[in-house]
A and B are shown apart, each in its own frame.
Chain A
Amino acid sequence: MTILDIRNLNIELETDNGPVRVLDRFNLQLAEGEIHTLVGESGSGKSLLAKAILGFINPRWKITADRLWWRDYDLLALNNAQRRLVTGRDMAMIFQDPSSHLDPNDKVGPQLCETIPSGELTGIYLKRRADRQTRAERLLHRVGIKDTKDVMESYPHELSEGLAQKVSIAMAIAHNPKLLIADEPTTAMEPSTRAQIYRLLAKLSAGQGMSILMITQDLTAVVPESQRISLIYCGQLMETGPTDDVMQAPLHPYTDAMLSMSLFNQDTPVKTRLPTLSGAIPTLQHMPIGCRLGPRCPYARRACVKQPELRKQQHQQFACHYPLREDSEHE
């Protein structure tokens, strides 16, 4: 069942040189209990998308969409307070650089305790406080922290990044959210810690039917548990589909380029020129019209100055006039 349904979402920023469209007709469907990976380079608008879903909206942004639905709520029709109520109850987010997202002057224990919703506690004040404490410890156990007492008595600067991220996850799952948005949760972490965090997230998703929108920079960080994957370039959706299909048989030139860039391994002979797309990511003020990949795309032709519609081929959807494999029977 689709719980998050985004169709043709546009975000425009007001700048001195007129409005800039940072997210252009973006589509995303997220099913219950699914791990969906969103891959995009920095500046591609993926963090902005997360903010738009959660409702951290700067009044100067202009957000329009054909649909921005969370379960039975039309998020764009709600006012700020209602929206905060819905997103605060159902969604949670974890960030890269986790220790900066914890209050540096407060111990971890109290910070964790205060995220436990008071509606679920009963009894007099003292009992509620004790309950909070035990529930906080249980949360820490669930994210794989053994010496809970120690961690709860620590200040954030005394934790390693991995530990801090686990604490963030514990805080995020305190109110059993239906959707967890993980914005590059493992940047600047050691590979073993990274694997731990991903395993933990996958376990949480499977264990309690929590959907996860995993935002990452490159395809090497896509976890095997991820069911679907979307690639975004400069605010435009390039390709989306089941992870295995997209990784094995990409249809969009961008996906192909990203894959060949990340398929760098030990078999590569020395001094080989590594595959890259020519050119650089355009600045916000100078976005190409039509398909924004156009100037860098090796297959670009005249038609590419018109933005391609999202097309479907078997399970994969892509936005390209000239996909790598044209499947004529399914057209």
Chain B
Amino acid sequence: MIRYTLRRLTLLIVTLWLLTVFLFSLNYFFPGDTLTNMTGIRASDSLSYQLAAEARGFDSSIFTQYLRFLGHFSSGDWGQSLTTQRDVFKQLLPLLGGTLELSVLAMLLAMVIGAPLGLYAARQQRGAMDRVVMGVSLSAYSVPVFWLAQLLILLFAVKLGWTPISGQLNPLFNIDVQTGSIILDILASDNPYKSAALADAINHLWLPVIVLAIMPGTMLMRITRNSMLEVLQQNYIRAARARGLSELRILFRHVLPNAMQPVVRQLGLMFSILMSNIIVTEVIFNWPGLGSWLVKSIYERDYPVLQGGLFAFATLILFVNVVVELFHAWRYPQVRKELYAEH
């Protein structure tokens, strides 16, 4: 397990390093002045521009420039936005909170709905409900998220008026942004209208969460159903029946833990898909998160922000994938045997 952990961590570090090389080279490929692309300081602002050029080694080789870039980057100096002149790194943290809030809630909802429905479909294999659940999941899986989001907004926000069309919170509630996660911020604030703000936040939150949960949820449904069916055929399940164990005990002790193994393995992939969906969803719902920030920076050719957003997204996805893989290997020891033939 230690060897596997080290290998995964090494891979994580190497990938992150390659990512910094890529980001560094982007500054030279983007149109405009390289130093401006990197730091967000315009050439017209001559004094700070010269200071930055010196600090970033622009009078020496490209190798030195990369090392300096790495130094600045790892110490949290990610430059400033070209449009707002605000520090990228400081701006990024609360936005990351907003994105994480959405993605964690969507992932939870997907698991809470997807896994039990898949289980139910497997128990009713080839029955009417199995067909209904699988049919609905396939159609929901096939619907593109940007279209679905607008359809649901049209239905729930415009026609029915159950929820605001977009945004995170009614600006009347004066909540200080600390973590970026709106629920945590409200709970941490000493606003007198805390519960009203919370209700308003949840009213804003549920629609984007549902939109985001549909894709991973339907994937989970199908994976859970298929792996359940496979596990039910396994010898050890038949043997457990032969030993006279109760059906419930077999389900909870032997079928479910084994059926969850491929599900866990796919969680990282599902998270990656969720992340690409979250970019679109944040834009549509005008959610203050990394995704909408990144898209806005692309429109505005705000290169320092673009780099920061890219790095944050890539790191998040990589990190989650490695954690999922480590958990998978830790929870399912026979996987480690397949990997290294070790105990």
Q: B112 at the A/B interface (Cβ < 8 Å)?
A: no
In the complex, what distance in Å separates the CA atom of A156 from the CA atom of B243? 17
Task: Let me know if A203 is at the binding interface, CB within 8 A.
Answer: no
The answer to whether A172 touches B334, judged by C-beta atoms less than 8 angstroms apart, is no
Please determine whether B235 and A100 come into contact, CB atoms closer than 8 angstroms.
yes
Q: In the complex, are the beta carbons of A93 and B245 less than 8 A apart?
A: no
Whether A93 contacts B261 by the Cβ 8 Å rule is: no
Interface size for chain B: under 10, 10 to 19, 20 to 34, or 35 or more residues?
20 to 34
Stretch among A103-111, A212-220, A277-285 lining the B interface: A103-111
Residues on the A chain within 8 Å of B241, using CB: 56
Contact A95 B245 (CB under 8 A): no
Residues in A neighbouring B239, C-beta threshold 8 A:
93, 95, 101-102, 168
Interface centre among B240, B245, B257 (most CB of A within 10 A): B240
Interface mask (A76-92 → B, CB under 8 Å = 1, otherwise 0) = 00000000100111001
Q: C-beta contact mask, A151-189 vs B, less than 8 Å → 1, else 0?
A: 000011110000000001001101100000000000000
Nearest Cβ distance between residue A154 and chain B, in whole angstroms? Answer: 8
**CB-contact partner of A105 in B242, B244, B258, B343, under 8 A:** B258
- Chain B residue numbers with a CB within 8 Å of A245 are none
The listed residue with most A CB atoms (<10 A of its CB), out of B239, B331, B334, is B239
Pair A103/B244 contact, Cβ less than 8 Å: no
With an 8 A cutoff between CB atoms, is A307 at the interface?
A: no
Q: Using an 8 Å CB-CB cutoff, how does the interface string of B305-343 with A read, 1 for contact, 0 for none?
A: 000000000000000000000000001111001000001
In Å, the complex CA distance between A104 and B239 comes to: 13
CB distance from B25 to the nearest CB of A (A): 45
User: For residues 74 through 131 of chain B, which have their beta carbon under 8 Å from a beta carbon of chain A?
Assistant: none
Q: Which of A56, A84, A97, A102 contacts B244 (CB 8 A)?
A: A84
Q: A56-B238, A97-B235 are in contact. Are A103 and B254 (CB under 8 A)?
A: yes
Is B139 an interface position by the 8 A CB rule?
no
Given A114-B249, A157-B334, A158-B343, does the pair A103, B240 have CB atoms closer than 8 Å? Answer: yes
Q: Are B244 and A104 in contact (CB under 8 A)?
A: no
How far does the alpha carbon of A95 sit from the alpha carbon of B241 in the complex, in Å? 13
Interface contact A104-B236, CB-CB below 8 Å: yes
Whether B258 lies near A103 (C-beta < 8 A) is yes
Q: What's the tally of chain A residues with a CB closer than 8 Å to chain B?
A: 29
Cβ of A54 within 8 Å of any chain B Cβ, yes or no, is yes
> Interface centre among A92, A104, A171, by most B CB within 10 Å?
A104
Whether, in the assembled complex, B46 has its beta carbon less than 8 Å from a beta carbon of chain A, the answer is no
B248 to chain A, nearest CB (A): 12
Decide: A88 and B244 in contact? CB cutoff 8 A: yes
Residues of B within 8 Å of A89, CB to CB, are: 244
B contact face: mostly helix, strand, loop, or mixed: helix
Nearest chain A CB to B227 CB, angstrom units: 12
Contact residues, B246-279 vs A (CB, 8 A): 249, 253-254, 257-258, 261
CA distance A114 to B235 in the complex (A): 17
Residues of the A chain whose Cβ atoms lie less than 8 Å from the Cβ of B242: 54, 56, 92-93
Q: Which residues of B contact A104 (CB under 8 A)?
A: 236, 258, 334
Contact B234 A106 (CB under 8 A): no
CA distance A168 to B254 in the complex (A): 16
In the complex, what distance in Å separates the CA atom of A105 from the CA atom of B331? 8
| Chain A residues in 8 Å Cβ range of B258 | 103-105
Indicate whether A8 reaches chain B with its CB closer than 8 angstroms: no
Would you list which residues of chain A between 101 and 144 have a CB under 8 Å from chain B?
A: 101-106, 114-115, 117
Cβ contacts under 8 Å, B238 to chain A: 56, 101
Q: Are B332 and A105 in contact (CB under 8 A)?
A: yes
Contacts of A174 in B (CB 8 A): 243
- Given known contacts A95-B235, A114-B253, A155-B334, A105 and B245 CB-to-CB distance under 8 angstroms: no
User: Which of these, B234, B249, B331, B333, contacts A100 with CB under 8 Å?
Assistant: B234
Q: How far is the CB of B204 from chain A (nearest CB, A)?
A: 41
Closest to B258 in A: A105
Partner of A115, one of B243, B261, B332: B243
Which of chain B's residues have a CB closer than 8 A to the CB of A92? 242-243
Name A154's closest neighbour in chain B (CB-CB): B343
Do the beta carbons of B236 and A102 come within 8 Å of each other? yes
Contact across chains for A100 and B236 when beta carbons are under 8 A apart: yes
Distance in Å: Cβ of B339 to nearest Cβ of chain A: 12
Residue of B nearest to A84 (CB): B244
Instruction: Find chain B residues with CB under 8 A from A117 CB.
Output: 244
Report yes or no: B334 in contact with A106, Cβ–Cβ below 8 A.
no
Docked-complex contact B243 and A171, CB < 8 angstroms: yes
Q: Which residues on A sit within 8 Å (CB–CB) of B334?
A: 104-105, 155-157
With A56-B241, A89-B244, A100-B234: A105-B249 Cβ-Cβ less than 8 Å: no
Q: Is the CB of A155 within 8 A of B235?
A: no
Task: Determine the chain B residues whose CB is within 8 A of the CB of A175 once the complex forms.
Answer: 244
Interfacial chain A residues near B249, Cβ < 8 Å: 114
Interface residues of chain B, those whose CB is within 8 Å of chain A, are 234-236, 238-245, 249, 253-254, 257-258, 261, 331-334, 337, 343
Q: What would 9 A/B residue contacts be, using CB atoms closer than 8 Å?
A: A88-B243, A105-B257, A105-B258, A106-B254, A115-B243, A115-B245, A155-B333, A158-B343, A168-B239
Q: Across the A-B interface, give the 9 residue pairs with the lowest CB-CB distance, nearest first.
A: A88-B244, A101-B239, A100-B235, A157-B334, A101-B235, A104-B334, A103-B236, A103-B254, A93-B242
Other contacts beyond A93-B239, A115-B245: 18, CB < 8 A: A56-B238, A84-B244, A95-B239, A100-B236, A101-B236, A103-B240, A103-B253, A104-B258, A105-B331, A105-B334, A106-B253, A106-B254, A115-B244, A155-B333, A157-B333, A157-B337, A158-B343, A175-B244
